A and B are shown apart, each in its own frame.
Chain A
Amino acid sequence: QKEVEQNSGPLSVPEGAIASLNCTYSDRGSQSFFWYRQYSGKSPELIMSIYSNGDKEDGRFTAQLNKASQYVSLLIRDSQPSDSATYLCAPGSARQLTFGSGTQLTVLP
């Protein structure tokens, strides 16, 4: 059984702060790692992908991957109230992804 664990939260940060979201996974064969953002009542939206160890930056978002530790994280710099959502971690392969239960983030104005 492939497992994906995320800190369930809720996580609250003040506006302008850095939000740190963590994820561990059990399947060592995972080749791709994604972060999806899901607003309440809406479908998931892909915001970051990472495939190799290290950091990947895209605007205010940075994804970090450590395959040896089976760990992936998402940092959100200069957090905004519009970042308030549930963030889903999804490692997997070209065939399928396995989703974590998500971390609920609230950015306080």
Chain B
Amino acid sequence: DGGITQSPKYLFRKEGQNVTLSCEQNLNHDAMYWYRQDPGQGLRLIYYSQIVNDFQKGDIAEGYSVSREKKESFPLTVTSAQKNPTAFYLCASKRAGDYEQYFGPGTRLTVT
């Protein structure tokens, strides 16, 4: 089956710890995106990558880091510098030149 996978579905961490969220796609999409969603709010762009080994900051990149070593994978690290990391994290991807983005199932991160 083709699609976007995010793991784990739920993640719990203690304050001060870095945590890495996984995003993998087998759709042969070129671009990948990370969004954050807080309760009752829309999606805010954290980072995006149009091609391998290149990525750009979105609107709320502070406290986050990414890598894009493979076309299929775009992991997001939430660092201890992120002040309010508890949120629903969504990964999306799309083909180059297309406009439509498609989402993975998301990871719900809780930091206490």
Binding site for B on A (CB under 8 A): 4, 31-32, 34, 36, 42-46, 49, 51, 88, 92-102
Binding site for A on B (CB under 8 A): 33, 35, 40-45, 48, 50, 58, 90, 97-106
The reply to whether A102 and B42 contact each other, CB–CB distance below 8 Å, is yes
B106 to chain A: which residues have CB within 8 Å?
A: 42-43
The reply to whether B90 and A101 contact each other, CB–CB distance below 8 Å, is no
Quick one: which of A4, A34, A51, A93 contacts B42, CB cutoff 8 A? A4
The reply to whether A88 and B42 contact each other, CB–CB distance below 8 Å, is yes
The reply to whether A101 and B42 contact each other, CB–CB distance below 8 Å, is yes
A94 to chain B: which residues have CB within 8 Å?
A: 97-99
The reply to whether A93 and B99 contact each other, CB–CB distance below 8 Å, is yes
The reply to whether B99 and A44 contact each other, CB–CB distance below 8 Å, is no
Main secondary structure of the interface of A (DSSP, over half): loop
The reply to whether B103 and A43 contact each other, CB–CB distance below 8 Å, is yes
22 contacts between A and B (CB under 8 A): A4-B42, A32-B99, A32-B100, A34-B99, A36-B103, A43-B90, A43-B103, A44-B43, A44-B90, A44-B103, A46-B100, A46-B101, A49-B100, A88-B42, A94-B97, A95-B48, A96-B33, A96-B45, A96-B48, A97-B99, A99-B44, A102-B42
The reply to whether A43 and B104 contact each other, CB–CB distance below 8 Å, is yes
The reply to whether A101 and B99 contact each other, CB–CB distance below 8 Å, is no
CB closest chain-A residue, reference B48: A96
CB closest chain-A residue, reference B95: A94
Bound complex: CA of A102 vs CA of B41, how far in Å? 7
Bound complex: CA of A102 vs CA of B42, how far in Å? 6
B58 to chain A: which residues have CB within 8 Å?
A: 96
Quick one: which of B42, B99, B103, B105 contacts A92, CB cutoff 8 A? B99
Bound complex: CA of A4 vs CA of B59, how far in Å? 14
Quick one: which of B40, B41, B90, B101 contacts A97, CB cutoff 8 A? B101
